[in-house]
Structure 1
Amino acid sequence: MSSTQSDWLNFLKPNYKVLPLKERLYSGIGALCGLAISSLVSWYVLGGMNAWYIAPMGASSVLLFAVPNSPLAQPWNVVVGNTLAGIIGVACTQYLPDLTSAFSVAVGFAIFMMMTTDSLHPPSGAVAITAVLGGEAVHRLGFHFVLYPVLLNSILLLLFAVFFNRLIGRHYPITAHVNERSKDPTPTQKVSIQPKDIEYALEQHTELLDISQYDLEKIILEAQEHASERLNSYFVCQDIMSRDVIKLHEDDDIHQALEKFKEVNLMSLPVVNAEEELVGTLALYEVVEWFKGAADPRNSWQHYVRQIMSRRVVTVEPSQPIQDLVPYFVEKSFNYIPVVENQRLIGIVSRADMIAALQQLLNQQYVLT
Structure 2
Amino acid sequence: MISRPIAWLHAKLFSNALSLSRAERWKSSLGALLCVAGCGLLLRAMPLHAHWLLAPVGASVVILFVQFHSPVAQPWPLLGSYLVATVTGLLCAQWVPQPAIAAGLAVAISIWLMARFNCIHPPGGALALLIVLNAPYTPASVVQTLELVALNVTALLIAALVINKWVLGRRYPHSTTPALAPHRTQDLPPIQRMGLVHADLASAVQTLNTFVDVQEDELVEIYNLAVDHAFGRQVGLTCAEVMSRDVISVHFHTDLGMAWQLLRQHNIKSLPVIDRFDRLIGIVTVADFLRQVDATAPTSFTDRLQILLKRTPGLSSNKPEVVGQIMTADVFTAHPETPLSELIRQIAQKSLRHVPVIDARRKVVGIVTQSDLLIALYKSIALRQAADKPSA
Does TM, normalized by the shorter one, top 0.5? yes
**Counterpart among 190, 197, 202 of residue 200 in structure 2:** 197
Q: Work out the CA distance in 2 between the residues paired with 1:42 and 1:269.
A: 62
CA 1:55–1:263: 2 relative to 1, 3 Å: farther
The 1-side partners of 2:187 and 2:367 are apart by 30
Q: Secondary structure at the residue paired with 1:317?
A: coil
Q: Any conservation in 1 of the 2:271–2:283 contact (CA below 8 Å)?
A: yes
Paired residue for 1:278, among 270, 277, 280?
Answer: 280
Change (3 A) 1:240 1:6: closer
* Structure 2: distance between partners of 1:14 and 1:66: 19
Q: Which string of whole-angstrom CA distances, capped at 9 and with x for unpartnered residues, describes residues 257-279 of structure 1?
A: 79968996999875544323234
Note if contact 1:82-1:154 (Cα within 8 Å) is conserved in structure 2: no
Contact 1:248–1:269 under 8 Å retained in 2: no
CA deviations over 1:205-248 (Å, ceiling 9, x no partner): 11223233333333333333333334334243453236424456
Tell me the residue number matched to 1:211: 214
Q: How does 1:248-287 map to 2 (within 5 A)?
A: 249=252, 272-279=274-281
1: CA distance between counterparts of 2:75 and 2:260? 45
CA pair 239-105 structure 1, distance change in 2 beyond 3 A:
same
Task: Please report how far the alpha carbon of residue 308 of structure 1 lies from its aligned counterpart in structure 2 after TM superposition.
Answer: 10
Residue in 1 that maps onto 2:310: none
Cα 1:197–1:274 change in 2 (3 A) is same
Structure 2 SS opposite 1:204? helix
CA distance in 1, matches of 2:239, 2:332: 16
Q: Distance in 2 between matches of 1:311 and 1:37?
A: 44
Question: Does the CA contact (< 8 Å) of 1:57 and 1:154 recur in 2?
Answer: no
Quote the offset at 1:195 in angstroms: 3.5
Cα displacement (A) at 1:59: 0.9
Please give the per-residue CA displacement for 1:72-106, whole angstroms capped at 9, x wherever unaligned: 22333223333333343344455556554544333
State the one-letter code of the partner of 1:190.
R
Write the distance in 1 (CA, Å) between the matches of 2:164 and 2:9.
36
Confirm whether residue 27 of structure 1 aligns to residue 34 of structure 2. no
SS at match of 1:85: helix
In 2, the alpha carbon distance for the partners of 1:331 and 1:155 equals: 34
What CA distance in whole angstroms lies between the structure 1 residues aligned with 2:61 and 2:171? 16
Q: Which residue of 2 aligns with 1:315?
A: 333
Q: How big is the shift at 1:114?
A: 1.4
Distance, in Å, in 2 between the alignment partners of 1:75 and 1:259 is 58
Bigger radius of gyration: 2
Unaligned runs of 5+ in 1: 292-302
Q: Corresponding residue for 1:326?
A: 344
CA RMSD of aligned residues (A): 4.2
Aligned residue pair count: 349
Q: Which of 136, 140, 144 is the equivalent residue of 1:141?
A: 144
2:336 is equivalent to residue 335 of structure 1: no
Q: In the TM superposition, what is the alpha-carbon distance from 1:120 to its structure 2 partner?
A: 0.8
Among 142, 152, 157, the residue aligned to 1:154: 157
Shift of 1:318: 1.4
Aligned residue for 1:10? Answer: 11
Q: Aligned partners of 2:248, 2:105: CA distance in 1, in Å?
A: 70
Task: Give 3-state SS (helix, strand or coil) of 1:314's partner.
Answer: coil
Which residue does 2:81 correspond to in 1? 81
Distance 1:57 1:5 in 2: 36
Shift of 1:48: 4.7
Equivalent AA in structure 1 for residue 123 of structure 2: P
Question: 5+ unaligned residues in a row in structure 2: which ranges?
Answer: 295-320
Distance 1:330 1:154, change over 3 A: same
On the 8 A contact 1:31/1:62 being kept in 2, the answer is: yes
SS in 2 for 1:349: strand
Query: In structure 1, the residue corresponding to 2:208 is in which secondary structure?
Result: coil
Q: CA, structure 1 residues 56+340, in 2 after alignment: closer, same or farther (shift >3 Å)?
A: same
Q: 1: distance between equivalents of 2:128 and 2:200?
A: 37
Which residue is equivalent to 1:359? 378
Alpha-carbon distance change, 84 to 257 in structure 1, aligned in 2, over 3 angstroms = farther
SS in 2 for 1:196: helix
Question: Residue type of the partner of 1:109?
Answer: I
SS at match of 1:224: helix
Within a 5 Å distance, the mapping from 1:231-250 to structure 2 comes to 231-237=234-240, 239-241=242-244, 243-246=246-249, 249=252
Deviation at 1:306, TM superposition (A): 8.4
Query: Which amino acid is 1:120 matched to?
Result: I
